[in-house]
Structure 1
Amino acid sequence: MGFPTFHSLSDQYEMLLEQFTVMQAALAPLNLTRWQLFRLLAAQIWRDTSPTIRVGLIVLASGLLILALDAFILQPYVYSLRRLGIPKLSPSKGKHAFDYKPMLDEAARKYPDRPWLFAYSGFEFVVFPSAYVEEIRRLPARTASLVDFLTTVQFGGWHLIGSDDSSNTLHKTASTDLARSVGTMGIGRQEAARRACESTIGPCPEWKTLPLGWTLLDLVVSTSATGLVGEPLSRDPRWLKAVQRLPIAVGVGLFISCSFPRLLRPIIATFFYSPAWLLYRWMAYLLRPTVGQAIKEFQQSNGEKKTGAENQPQSQRGTTLVNLLMTRYKPEEFQADQLIRDVITATFESAPTTAVSIYWMLIEIILRPDLMDELREELASVMKDGKLPPTQLAELPKMDSLMRESARVNTFHYLGLSRILRSPVQFSVGPKLPKGTIICVDQDNIHNSSKIYADPHVFDPKRFYRMRQQAGHETRHQYTSNGPDLLTWGDGPQVCPGRVFGGNTIKILLAHLLINYDLKLEAGKGKPPRLSFPNGSVQPDMNFKFLIRQRRV
């Protein structure tokens, strides 16, 4: 049976119009109103409709009624946290509809000492003023979960990342073993950065124009893969493309599904997140041979197949995340599927954030030629045989200061420490919040606080360099340092475990680009605008062009 054509639909419309006209003429003596005539016609059509279509219409009408009831009555009046007396604000409308900063500035003036809420895509966020960051950051995952927030709000219910419990194996491995290994990985990862630049940028004896965002994403993915999965997978273009595309597929699924009512979202998410899930399965397929070989070699080198980290000599530990995880696994965890999940989780979480971070750092450097020269001098002072020694990658204080200042100014999100409560919590301010409440902190007014930073609205690349000159502060204020004064990495028990690895990746790439290339923006161009998204995140223009050529010394 084919679809009805335009002509057949037109004929049906004309027939209904003719019936209505005949009925109107026949019933004219009764002096019925148009509404009464409409009801008579509707009753006639209903009697002439087949039972199957009647059932379909009833289901459709019931569904629309339920959606309307949920959207206009239950959510705003029954389930809303406004019933607890929490004041509500709304983001800007019109051209700046997704820019949360005006709303946060208004809240800082109106509610400096109490939580407030706003709604986004059917979710309500309870925002705590920056003064309460210490109270929020201390909450353990069993009470307030970051992963629950990401899974529910960002990923449409799809479990694309692992557990946020700081005691889990991946968290311990990334925060401890991988962080300790960045030094031994240094030379190999510098070589990976060189190969990545040669492949992505290509020969450029003269100025070449490239999209900054996509170029840096390519470089980050290739450089990170060496430390996460090792060779040969780190050179496999299929793996590298999949790593690049997974966060994009998740972002598309989020953007589209959030335009639908929450009651429909589980169904909608199944469809629009399916490309991300297929990419996830494809990555698992590509990773399985690497994991299988690593497990085989690990078991051969450990005759009794002991898998606890405390049972393995230091010399037997590998220098990729795959091998480091195996030395940490408990016997019940030691299986290929678990290893694949953990590696994909680490890969997914690291690539986009690292690429966006280095994007803004490079922009800030290009806009300041004197700073670029100073950073090159710092690099040249520590290089040996054209390479950066592993110990210096952890330092480079001027570059590190620039990186931290960029993280302060060019934030990913105006809100920080986002969590979903796993149990009711009574904070020191405001009402007791029920299980399932989304909480967060006004991060923007921490990063721009005049009580914490002098001239907070000025980009000062040496701000943290000077802070580290103070007695007792020599090891503080580093790019990878977490604390309540800078929430780039989160804080507390659920702080980002891969921050040392990510910071090391950025330094390797910045060093290689500054030493080997000249960089500039197109004539007349300044700092690119930041793009605001519906969830309040702030992203760069990935297609923003920059110019690059091989350096002429």
Structure 2
Amino acid sequence: MALTEAISQVFGTKLPLVLSTVAVLGAVILFQIFVNGNPLANIPVVGEELGSDEKRRQAYLFKAKDVYIDGYKKVRRLWNPKRRQKHDVFRIVTSNKFTVVVVPAKYLTELRNLPDDTVSFEGAIEQTMHAKYTQLEFRHKLIVYVIKTNLTPALNRLNPSIAEEVQESFRKELPPCPDWTPININQKLLRIVALVSGRIFLGTKVARSEAYVDAAINYTIELMRARHAVEAVRPWLRPFKAPHLPEIKALRARLRAGEELLRPLLAERRNLSDTEEKPEDMLQWILDGQSKYRPYSTEELARVQLTLSFAAIHTTTMTATNTLYNLAVYPEYIPILREEISSVLSTTGGVFTSQALQNMKRLDSFIKESMRIDPPGATSFNRKVLKSFALSSGQVIPAGVIIEVPAEALTRDPEIFPNPDTFQPWRFYDLRSELRNEGEADKAAQHQFASIGQTVLTFGYGRHACPGRFFAANEIKMIVANILMQYDVKMPEGMEGKRYPNIRYGGTNSPDPTKELLFKKIVKA
């Protein structure tokens, strides 16, 4: 009671001074806006007709695809370069408290040349993944370095081992299927991808343990649950509620379990002598690469490994599941793909070499078209703006906002992709063939599954494009190819020709993980 009275007395004596200070600050801010103008004032807001930011936030949570496509179409219709209108960008209200400005893909070339202290890839991840609460590890240049300098160059010699792990995981995870058998393929793929990725990340011994598979899969699931749980909380309440959400508590427990799992392996690796042969996997490359950066603690390495699992398992499983859902809906394409895979492997003695994977051009196109029509997210090239800058149009993008490119809206633009809502499995195969016939080999290569370009942005763009995309592409191709060579696949009875709709929440787009496909083992003569 005495404390309350003391506080009242202090504020009572200082209240006039506080009010006058607030008034002066408010006047200064209003004067600056009047003189300099509000840099966001001339950027249209999608969903303005909804009347409030809270309603726009709800629209984003449950209809983000429509929000982005609506904004994309509106600015294209309004843009008039002859009158030098600047509003070919638009704003959206997301589930987060920061302002998001959506920028057309035509600016990608100039955006990618901006320095990291102007637009920050890491800053965007920190905000969009709510790293403050999820404790996601992402600020490690060593990891990108290792992927680019060790993993990707090693794929030529690692591909047979990856293929061996795919086949071994099939034997462990898929039932015999002598007749048509229902399988929740998403759940099976989670385990298969965890096993295959784990072999490259930590080596066979640990990767095949149930403790690792459980940790890798559940960290991925729990991280996304935690992210969605935080997004569902109103921004101003997050500092108070987010740390106590059950999803956040579960994620923290998972991180502690991951550290305990990795501790014995790290002790073993750190005790290797210089004369002993070192394993060829990501963990060893990271340990060896620490001298270029700094030593990592056991806790940091555990989080890094779980983050690698998240990056590998989450998107790889989604893409493979979408591909298999499309194969089940369009079974007429299965014999064509099977013939291509069989023909290519006949030249390598059945070994999945890098060249063999590159020669599976129709399979590459089928997977890329699956990713085009059902991308994992509505946007790409997400960056936090640290310093204000101007686009070549003259439009100023102020510091403090998040910028992104409407990747999914691009893939649904009929001027870029004719009949964009129609699944055309050979779309990219045909594009590559046409360009090669015209002598445009470099342009043809841009339409491969793992390539980056300005029309399909699933792997990002510029210097921060996904460094592990080549490993992921090889892994997905091997998984789908092995299924095609071992099983017939179809939709359940009564569902023929009907694609399972994906689940959308905010900007994410995931295949329904609860659905089943029918599998039947191929009997070879």
**TM-score, structure 1 as length reference:** 0.77
Match of 1:448 in 2: 412
Question: Structure 2 CA distance, aligned partners of 1:81 and 1:296?
Answer: 59
Question: Structure 1 CA distance, aligned partners of 2:344 and 2:233?
Answer: 55
Q: CA deviation at 1:285?
A: 1.9
Question: Structure 2 CA distance, aligned partners of 1:441 and 1:95?
Answer: 19
Match of 1:512 in 2: 482
Question: Structure 2 CA distance, aligned partners of 1:92 and 1:524?
Answer: 38
Shift in alpha-carbon separation, 1:109–1:466, aligned structure 2, 3 A: closer
Q: Does 1:160 align with 2:169?
A: no
Larger Rg: 1
Quick one: which of 249, 259, 280 aligns to 1:319? 280
CA contact (8 A) 1:317 1:327 kept: no
Quick one: which of 498, 511, 517 aligns to 1:540? 511
CA contact (8 A) 2:185 2:321 kept: yes
Q: CA deviation at 1:391?
A: 3.0
Match of 2:18 in 1: none
- 1:209 aligns to what SS in structure 2? strand
Quick one: which of 464, 468, 472 aligns to 2:440? 472
CA contact (8 A) 2:91 2:99 kept: yes
Specify the code of the residue in structure 2 equivalent to 1:397: K
Query: Which runs of 5 or more residues in structure 1 are unaligned?
Result: 1-50, 59-73, 303-315
Q: CA deviation at 1:504?
A: 1.1
> Could you report, residue by residue, the CA deviation over 1:75-134 in whole angstroms, capped at 9, with x for unpaired residues?
xx9999785332211387999962223323332333224211111223321111233233
Specify the code of the residue in structure 2 equivalent to 1:440: E
Specify the code of the residue in structure 2 equivalent to 1:170: I
Question: Structure 2 CA distance, aligned partners of 1:410 and 1:151?
Answer: 25
Match of 1:40 in 2: none
Match of 1:220 in 2: 193
Map 1:332-481 onto structure 2 (within 5 A): 333-337=294-298, 339-383=301-345, 384-429=348-393, 431-469=395-433, 470=436, 471-473=439-441, 475-481=445-451
Q: CA deviation at 1:286?
A: 1.1
- 1:182 aligns to what SS in structure 2? helix
Map 1:6-17 onto structure 2 (within 5 A): none
Q: Does 1:488 align with 2:458?
A: yes
Q: CA deviation at 1:406?
A: 1.5
Question: Structure 2 CA distance, aligned partners of 1:211 and 1:98?
Answer: 25
Match of 1:244 in 2: 217
Match of 2:116 in 1: 141
Q: Does 1:130 align with 2:94?
A: no
Farther-moved stretch of structure 1 (196-205 vs 407-416) = 196-205
Q: CA deviation at 1:271?
A: 2.2
Shift in alpha-carbon separation, 1:522–1:432, aligned structure 2, 3 A: same
Match of 2:94 in 1: 120
Farther-moved stretch of structure 1 (419-428 vs 346-355) = 419-428
Shift in alpha-carbon separation, 1:254–1:189, aligned structure 2, 3 A: same
Q: CA deviation at 1:54?
A: 9.1
Specify the code of the residue in structure 2 equivalent to 1:414: A
- 2:405 aligns to what SS in structure 1? strand
Match of 2:83 in 1: none
> Could you report, residue by residue, the CA deviation over 1:370-404 in whole angstroms, capped at 9, with x for unpaired residues?
32111111111132554433431243111111111
Match of 1:24 in 2: none
Specify the code of the residue in structure 2 equivalent to 1:119: V
CA contact (8 A) 1:156 1:257 kept: no
Question: Structure 2 CA distance, aligned partners of 1:396 and 1:148?
Answer: 38
Shift in alpha-carbon separation, 1:118–1:260, aligned structure 2, 3 A: same
Map 1:30-49 onto structure 2 (within 5 A): none
CA contact (8 A) 1:140 1:494 kept: no
> Could you report, residue by residue, the CA deviation over 1:238-296 in whole angstroms, capped at 9, with x for unpaired residues?
11111111122122222222232323313322223221122122112212222332333
Match of 1:109 in 2: 73
Question: Structure 1 CA distance, aligned partners of 2:324 and 2:482?
Answer: 12
CA contact (8 A) 1:291 1:340 kept: no
Map 1:74-93 onto structure 2 (within 5 A): 84-90=41-47
Shift in alpha-carbon separation, 1:247–1:267, aligned structure 2, 3 A: farther
Specify the code of the residue in structure 2 equivalent to 1:539: S
How many residues are aligned here? 466
Query: Which runs of 5 or more residues in structure 2 are unaligned?
Result: 9-25, 48-54, 80-87
Question: Structure 2 CA distance, aligned partners of 1:394 and 1:317?
Answer: 30
Question: Structure 2 CA distance, aligned partners of 1:353 and 1:278?
Answer: 23
Q: Percent identity, aligned pairs only?
A: 23
Quick one: which of 230, 236, 240 aligns to 1:263? 236
Q: CA deviation at 1:527?
A: 0.6
Q: CA deviation at 1:496?
A: 0.5
Specify the code of the residue in structure 2 equivalent to 1:115: V
Question: Structure 1 CA distance, aligned partners of 2:119 and 2:279?
Answer: 34
Runs of 4+ in 1 over 4 A off after TM superposition: 51-55, 77-83, 91-97
Question: Structure 2 CA distance, aligned partners of 1:345 and 1:139?
Answer: 27
Match of 1:278 in 2: 253
Match of 2:157 in 1: 184
Q: How large is the RMSD of aligned CA atoms in angstroms?
A: 3.0
CA contact (8 A) 2:105 2:454 kept: no
Match of 2:499 in 1: 527
Map 1:42-81 onto structure 2 (within 5 A): none
- 1:232 aligns to what SS in structure 2? helix
Question: Structure 2 CA distance, aligned partners of 1:448 and 1:169?
Answer: 37
- 2:424 aligns to what SS in structure 1? coil
Q: CA deviation at 1:339?
A: 4.2
CA contact (8 A) 2:269 2:284 kept: yes
